[in-house]
Amino acid sequence: MKRALNLVAGAALLGGVFLAPSRVSSAADIRVCENANMRPPCIDLRHGVNDLGDWRISNSISSFSIGSGAWLMCTETDFRGRCETFSGSRSNLQGTPFQDRISSLRPVRAGGGGTWGGWGGETEWDRIGIAVYTDKGYRGRSWVFSDDIRDLSRMGLSNRISSVRIFGGRWRICRSPNFGGCLEISGDVSNLRDIGFNDQVSSIQELGPGGSGSGGGRVSITVYRDKDYSGRSWSFDKDVRNLGSMGMGNQISSVKVSGGRWRLCRTSSFDGCIEIGEDVQDLREFGINDQINSIQLVRSGGGWGGSGGGPRDEAILYEQSGFRGRSVTVTGEASNLRDRGFNDRAMSIRIRGTWQLCSDANYRGQCVSIRGDQDDLARLGLPRNLSSLRKER
């Protein structure tokens, strides 16, 4: 016998996710009914659910009416099994693979009618989704979103989330409403306590399709007050000229990079910088722990990018030949690279103008003057033997 839809759980428990019996008005909404031709009992949804069994409506749906948007429906939990994207209503699912078999559903961005999961070609936007859970280990009540949620408190969800699953795309979870104090995640997190976010998520932001290194979407950097990506954190997707004005000066000990290359600078206005393109678990390795006062995105995506228009008084040192690996940016001069955590580590360099490179600190030892980029310092007799450098006037 078909199990009746549980309407008692509606307004009392769902915190605005399910509303019954009146229609809802939102960016995407759908009414699902136990019987054909939209006969009650019915429930209205504004956001997706990755396991309808949690709400006692799994395998009970015979018809649905889409008020807006497109919806992905699947015969198994977590959007697995046979799935199809619907942009129009269905008055009777009898004779289809979905009669009394829908176990998960969520809004998507498809233009309508697209299918996936073995039923046709999915679009990249179809795959975007994040599931949040009230308990660790992907347990407890769950909700699924495919768009930004600016303020979870309006849904009764603020500071209640303990684990998340990513079903596609790039996402930021944020401590404050309107996307403040964020961390970008690209994979499942079974316990948000591990990243200092347990019961602290107040807004969620979608960054677009693809992983952190994809060509699409925006780039960002997340900085942490403590090493090992712990402590209070902030996320940025553009230059920050003065961290002191935000109460963050000289407080950063680790960083995570989500695309692009970034300069971490000792002074405001981007002076005394190192350049990074990957996560750094402990900034003491670079001699810049608790010394960062400004952050700058390298627009060219690495070095000068061949544009020929880079800063005239800067040099970028790389740990590997071919301008690869960790890097540090020097503005004007560096009398002792040990202070930058880069002594005897450089294997290649990008510059503009003429620079003097020396094997010892304070411009002593073997010194050479070069003009233009050098992709392998071994050719100059300075492989991993560079301790000071300065721009020649």
pLDDT in tens, the chain (393 residues): 344 443 333 333 333 333 333 333 334 588 989 899 999 888 888 777 877 876 667 678 999 998 877 888 888 887 778 888 888 889 999 999 899 999 888 887 544 333 333 333 344 444 567 888 899 888 888 888 877 888 888 877 889 999 988 877 778 888 888 888 888 776 778 888 877 889 999 999 887 654 333 334 457 888 888 998 888 878 787 888 888 877 788 999 999 887 777 888 888 877 777 777 778 888 887 778 999 999 988 754 344 433 333 455 678 888 888 777 777 888 888 999 988 888 998 988 888 778 899 999 999 998 888 877 787 888 777 778 899 999 886
The answer to whether 329 touches 341, Cβ cutoff 8 Å, is no
Confidence at residue 26, expressed as pLDDT on a 0 to 100 scale: 38
Confidence at residue 127, expressed as pLDDT on a 0 to 100 scale: 53
The single-letter code of the amino acid at 342 is: F
Q: From CA 128, how far away is CA 330, in angstroms rounded?
A: 40
What are phi and psi for residue 54, nearest 5 degrees?
A: -60, -25
The answer to whether 71 touches 85, Cβ cutoff 8 Å, is yes
pTM: 0.41
For residue 128, the surrounding DSSP H or E stretch is none
| Cis amide bond preceding 41, omega within 30 | yes
What stretches of the chain show up as alpha helix (H) in DSSP?
Answer: 9-13
The answer to whether 70 touches 111, Cβ cutoff 8 Å, is yes
The domains of the chain, with CATH numbers, are 9-127 (2.60.20.10), 300-391 (2.60.20.10)
Structure tokens at 86: 């619907």
Closest CA to 52 of 98, 88, 85, 12: 98
Chain centroid, CA 171 distance in Å: 4
Confidence at residue 235, expressed as pLDDT on a 0 to 100 scale: 79
Sign of the torsion formed by the C-alpha atoms of 188, 192, 197 and 202: positive
Q: For the sheet containing 230-236, what is the strand order?
A: 230-236, 220-226, 254-258
The answer to whether 176 touches 203, Cβ cutoff 8 Å, is yes
Q: From CA 154, how far away is CA 366, in angstroms rounded?
A: 66
Q: For the sheet containing 388-391, what is the strand order?
A: 333-334, 388-391, 354-360, 364-371
Length of the chain (residues): 393
The answer to whether 233 touches 196, Cβ cutoff 8 Å, is yes
Q: What share of the chain is helix, strand, coil (3-state, %, to 5)?
A: 10, 40, 45
3-class secondary structure, 143: strand
Chain centroid, CA 365 distance in Å: 46
